[in-house]
């Protein structure tokens, strides 16, 4: 059974995070150089690769590898925390790290350690690269041996969402307590760039063939000051756009003014999961506390449409009950740009939305769906059901469920990846 946050627990969490803020003021936050764990095996460009999906089981610290289409059957499993004992020893010997570690557990982790958030494969398919929130790092795990190839501790005390450049050579990771995005060489873990963001950087998206990188900051989601009157306490929330040749900021976008101009001053400006249309002309995104999505026109710099999706009658109107302020969290688009797939996290359903009309299709019941992506063949939306420990495929054409596949404890991010042909798991 999943844990729930009581009012007393929420107050305790708020107090703990205030302690975190005081602790952070007492220390300098900075990136630590990449630590090489083991020699990387020579890349074999001729090696045959198999397209798969990585499913990050956040509370378990594992990644399930499943077929990327068809039956979505499980192929193997990877331990993303083979160094868990070493990391815990370091944390418990450092009072500041321990405060943050326990704060992550009682806050964003809902009483659990967050051991794997985002995850991708290297271009040659020899390693899994994952962000680990509770350990505040990014690691590369050798798919043949299960051992770490490299480790990069992020600035501050928590790692979050990532994105891989279109050419597959770089990975960007949000360091959420340091308001920084690090960009790393995906093969070596060496930092090739970084930039400052708004408060609590979250989603990262590459555009224009990798020329630009967009980061969305979501502000302070760990507090219970969720009523609109307390919105000012949530911090600086905006989109940061950088040129990836220099990692200099070329534009910042605060959706507050755009939403106000559209007549939706009631909506939060904390941009959550986001997806671009195929021509990069439109940005679709979810915001905190809202059961729906927003359409933003890049060229005119305006919000053009807002879609409110059905509410589950069983879902409370008490905002403090929404996990990390996210009413709906998970958004993907069919390859042809005609359909959107929405994960209605707190409303326990997913639905396919026609992009032209913004009319939703049938509701597919789902237990706390936390992410949405696209299958390898582009036919299905794949959601993670964190409340049922499974992933579910939904047909873009019909909006109907195709299949559900069991995975590990609390799946969140699901990403397309590659492994060597014939791979079934690391050697024992």
424: left (phi over 0), alpha (psi -120 to 50) or beta: alpha
The pLDDT confidence band at residue 222, using thresholds 50, 70 and 90, is confident
The pLDDT confidence band at residue 426, using thresholds 50, 70 and 90, is very high
The pLDDT confidence band at residue 177, using thresholds 50, 70 and 90, is very high
Which DSSP category does 358 fall into?
Answer: -
8 burial via Cβ count (<10 Å: 0-12, 13-18, 19+): exposed
**CA 293/CA 151 separation, integer angstroms:** 36
| 3-state percent breakdown (helix, strand, coil) of the chain, nearest 5 | 15, 40, 45
Does residue 396 register a pLDDT over 80? Answer: yes
Does residue 11 register a pLDDT over 90? Answer: no
What average pLDDT is seen over the chain? 91
Which DSSP category does 16 fall into?
Answer: H
Mean pLDDT of 404-423: 97
Mean pLDDT of 168-186: 98
**In this predicted structure, what is the pLDDT of residue 205?**
98
**In this predicted structure, what is the pLDDT of residue 4?**
35
Does residue 324 register a pLDDT over 60? Answer: yes
Does residue 10 register a pLDDT over 70? Answer: no
Nearest to 293 by CA among 359, 226, 342, 333: 342
**In this predicted structure, what is the pLDDT of residue 35?**
56
Nearest to 126 by CA among 147, 151, 100: 147
The pLDDT confidence band at residue 148, using thresholds 50, 70 and 90, is very high
Per residue in 13-38, pLDDT tens?
344 344 344 334 333 333 444 555 54
**In this predicted structure, what is the pLDDT of residue 37?**
54
Mean pLDDT of 360-373: 98
**In this predicted structure, what is the pLDDT of residue 46?**
53
The phi, psi pair for 15, rounded to 5°, reads: -65, -40
Q: Give first-to-last CA distance, the chain, whole Å.
A: 31
Does residue 248 register a pLDDT over 80? Answer: yes
Please name the helix (run of DSSP H) or strand (run of DSSP E) that holds residue 341, with its range, or none: strand 339-344
CATH of domain 50-420: 2.130.10.10
Say what percent of the chain tops pLDDT 70.
Answer: 89
Report whether 312 contacts 344 (CB < 8 A): yes
């Amino acid at each position: 059974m999943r844990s729930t946050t009581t009012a007393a627990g929420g107050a305790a969490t708020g107090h703990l995070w205030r302690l975190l803020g005081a602790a952070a003021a007492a220390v300098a936050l900075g990136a630590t150089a990449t630590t090489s764990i083991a020699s990387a095996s020579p890349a074999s460009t001729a090696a045959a690769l198999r397209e798969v999906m990585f499913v990050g089981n956040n509370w378990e610290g594992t990644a399930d590898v499943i077929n990327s289409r068809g039956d979505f059957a499980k192929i193997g499993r990877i331990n993303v925390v083979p160094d868990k004992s070493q990391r815990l020893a370091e944390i418990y010997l450092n009072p500041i790290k321990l405060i943050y570690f326990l704060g992550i557990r009682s806050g964003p982790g809902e009483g659990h350690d967050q051991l794997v958030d985002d995850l991708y494969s290297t271009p040659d398919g020899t390693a899994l690269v994952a962000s680990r929130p509770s350990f505040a790092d990014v690691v590369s795990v050798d798919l043949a041996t299960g051992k770490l190839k490299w480790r990069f501790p992020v600035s501050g005390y928590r790692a979050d969402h990532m994105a891989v450049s279109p050419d597959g050579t770089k990975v960007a990771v949000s360091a959420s307590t340091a308001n920084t995005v690090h960009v790393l060489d995906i093969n070596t873990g060496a930092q090739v760039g970084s930039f400052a963001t708004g408060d609590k950087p979250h989603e990262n998206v590459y555009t224009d063939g990798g020329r630009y990188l967009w980061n969305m900051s979501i502000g302070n989601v760990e507090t219970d000051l969720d009523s609109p009157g307390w919105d000012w306490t949530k911090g600086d929330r905006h989109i940061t756009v950088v040129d990836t040749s220099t990692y200099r900021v070329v534009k910042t976008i605060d959706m507050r003014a755009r939403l106000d101009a559209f007549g939706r001053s009631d909506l939060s400006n904390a941009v959550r999961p986001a997806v671009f249309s195929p021509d990069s002309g439109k940005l679709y995104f979810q915001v905190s506390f809202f059961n729906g999505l927003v359409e933003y026109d890049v060229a005119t710099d305006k919000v053009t449409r807002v879609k409110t999706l059905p509410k589950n009658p069983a879902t409370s109107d008490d905002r403090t009950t929404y996990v990390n302020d996210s009413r709906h969290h998970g958004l993907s688009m069919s390859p042809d740009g005609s359909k959107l797939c929405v994960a209605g996290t707190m409303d326990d359903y997913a639905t396919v939305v026609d992009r032209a009309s913004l009319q939703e299709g049938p509701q597919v019941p789902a237990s706390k769906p936390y992410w949405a992506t696209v299958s390898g063949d582009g036919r299905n939306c794949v959601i993670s059901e964190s409340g049922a420990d499974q992933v579910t495929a939904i047909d873009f054409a019909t909006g109907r469920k195709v299949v559900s596949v069991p995975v590990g404890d609390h799946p969140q991010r699901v990403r397309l990846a590659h492994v060597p042909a014939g791979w079934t798991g690391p050697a024992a």
